[in-house]
Amino acid sequence: MTLLLTPSALPYSSRALLRLIEGAGLTGNWGWNFATNEHVWSPGLFRLLGLEPGMVPPSYDLFLHLVHPEDRASLETGAQMRDGLARNATVRVIRPDGTMRLLSIQTEIYVAPDGRPQAAAGTVLDITDREALARAQAAERRRAWALFQRTRSFTHTYSHPALEFSREFMDLTGQSREAFLEDSQRAIASEERSFWREFGAEHFPSARIFHATPLLILADGQKGRFRFIVLPILRPDGGIEGWTHFVTPVGRQGLQPTGDVRRRLEEQVRGHHVRAARALLGWSMHDLAAASGLSFSTIRRLEDDVEAIAARSRHAAVAALRTAGICFSLLDGAAIAVARA
C-alpha cells in the first residue's frame, strides 16, 4: 500500500504510527525514514524478535537476518523497499535463543507529493499460536473421524436454525446437506418419523438438555437405533444460538461424553440426584464432602439446589460420586437416572 506523505509530516510519521498501532494492542511495529536511514522499532517488536528493547540498533538488515533463510525471498531487500516495493508476507523468524515464531507482516510505503518513496512502516503480528491451534484442530478432526469410523459415535454442533450438518452424520445416513435442509427428519425411519417430529417440536423450544433414541435409516439401507444427547447453546439473552449433539449407537460400546458435553450434562445434576447417589453408596453428606474435597456447607447448598453454588463444586461432587461407582444417565426426554455400577 502506498500513502502520500508531505515533507513536514515525514519526521513524525514513525512516532505517530507507533502510538497508533501500540494503542490498538498489536504486537509490534517499525518505521524506516529513507532520507535519514533512521529506523524505529517498538518495544513490542524487540520482544517479539527475542531481543531486549534497545540492546541493538534496529535496522531492516537485522530483521532480514532473523528471518528463516527459506522465507527471506518473501520479503523485499532494503534496496527494493527504498524503490517503493513492499509486500505483505508471513515468515518464520529464528530468535537468538533458537526458538522459532511465525509472523504476519503488513508493510506500507510513504511517498512525497512528487511520488518518490520517502519512508516505510509496518506492523508485525505473532501468529504462531494461531497456527499451532489450527494444527491441533486439524489433528482433533482426524481423531474424531477415526473414532467415528470405528465406533459410529460422534459429536457435532450446528446453528439454530440448522444450515450445516456434520460430515459424520451425512456419512452415516448417506444424506446430503440439501436433503437435510429440505427435511431434517428424513434420516429417521418412516414408522417413527411422526413421533420424533412431535418429540422435537416439544423439546427443542425448551432450551433444555434432552435425550432421544430414534431409529435411523443408514447409508447402506439398513436401520439402526442411535442415542442422541442434545445440549442447547444459549445466547446471553437466553435465546437458542445452536445445539450440540452427542450421538452413539444404542446397544453398542461407543464414545462416552467428554469435555464440554460431559461438563454441561453434569450441570443438570440436581440436589435430589446427589441425595439418591449418596443413598446408593450409604454415604452421609460428610462422606461426600471428604471424597470431593468440598466443605460440608457446600454439599448442603448443593443438595438444597442453591443457585449460587459454583459450577466447579458441582463437578467436584459428581466426579467423586462417579469415582465411587455412581452412573448418571440421561433418559428419553430430559430425566436423569441415578444408578450404581
Catalogue the E-assigned strands of 185-273: 210-212, 215-217, 223-234, 240-249
- CATH 1.10.260.40 residue window(s) in the chain: 267-341
Confidence of residue 43 (pLDDT cuts 50, 70, 90): confident
Reported as a single tens digit per residue, the pLDDT across 225-268 is 998 888 888 777 778 888 888 888 987 654 556 666 667 777 77
What b/e readout covers 62-80, taking b as 16+ CB neighbours within 10 angstroms? ebeebbeeebeeebbebee
Determine whether 313 is exposed, middle or buried from the number of CB atoms within 10 Å of its CB (0-12, 13-18, 19+).
Answer: middle
Alpha helices in the chain (DSSP H): 10-23, 43-48, 60-66, 78-82, 128-151, 167-173, 177-182, 190-203, 259-266, 271-281, 285-292, 296-303, 311-323
Instruction: Indicate the fold that domain 2-126 takes in CATH.
Output: Beta-Lactamase (3.30.450)
- CATH 3.30.450.20 residue window(s) in the chain: 2-126, 135-256
Mean pLDDT over 278-285 rounds to: 93
Class of domain 135-256: alpha beta
Do 228 and 250 form a contact (C-beta atoms < 8 A)?
A: no
Residues 284/285/289/295 CA torsion (nearest 10 deg): -150
Is the entire prediction scored with pTM above 0.75? no
CATH superfamily to which 267-341 belongs: lambda repressor-like DNA-binding domains (1.10.260.40)
Integer Cα distance of 294 and 170 in angstroms? 44
Integer Cα distance of 127 and 125 in angstroms? 6
Is the per-residue pLDDT at 189 higher than 60? yes
Query: How is residue 77 written as a grid cell?
Result: 531487500
Confidence of residue 2 (pLDDT cuts 50, 70, 90): very low
Do 31 and 9 form a contact (C-beta atoms < 8 A)?
A: no
Mean pLDDT over 132-159 rounds to: 79
